[in-house]
Amino acid sequence: MTERFTTLKTKDIIKEIGGWWSARDMTPPPSFILPEDAYVRLSEEELTHILFLYKTNSSICWVGFPTANPDNDSVSKEVGLKSLLEYCEGEAKSEGYSVMFTTTNTPRVEFALGELGYKVGDQDINQHIKLLWEQD
């Protein structure tokens, strides 16, 4: 199996990954809140995993919307997600970031994060979001 990591323009893959979210009965996030680039894992040149790395002007970056192709088998989903996260860790470190974090309640993502040494920061907290684009 040939595994490769890279970034792709979100606009070029948004329809495909939107289908992945829809296949899980998830509402895709509006494309305008996604970074311009998506970090991706390719296996045999087929897109298998994506995630978005939200970069800040501090030493913290945020992993958003990690997603696997729903056609992958469960072992491939776990192995691929872990390897993509490890790739992104290396990229983040090379860009000067010292902390990566994310929020999730997806068991497969939580498992992969735990396997890679991520710790649960807070529990029993509420996430507060205001959709500013709906204010206009």
128 is a domain residue? no
Comparing CA positions, the residue from 97, 15, 16 lying closest to residue 53 is: 97
Q: What pLDDT was estimated at residue 10? A: 97
- Residue-level pLDDT at 105: 87
Residues of the chain with pLDDT under 70: 1, 136
Neighbour-count burial for 36-69, b at 16+ CB within 10 Å, e otherwise: eebbbbbbeeebbbbbbbeeeeeeebebbbbbbb
Asked if residue 96 is part of any domain, the answer here is yes
pLDDT of residue 136: 62
Expressed as residue numbers, the domain containing 50 is: 3-116
pLDDT score of 124? 85
Q: Report yes or no on 132 lying in a domain.
A: no
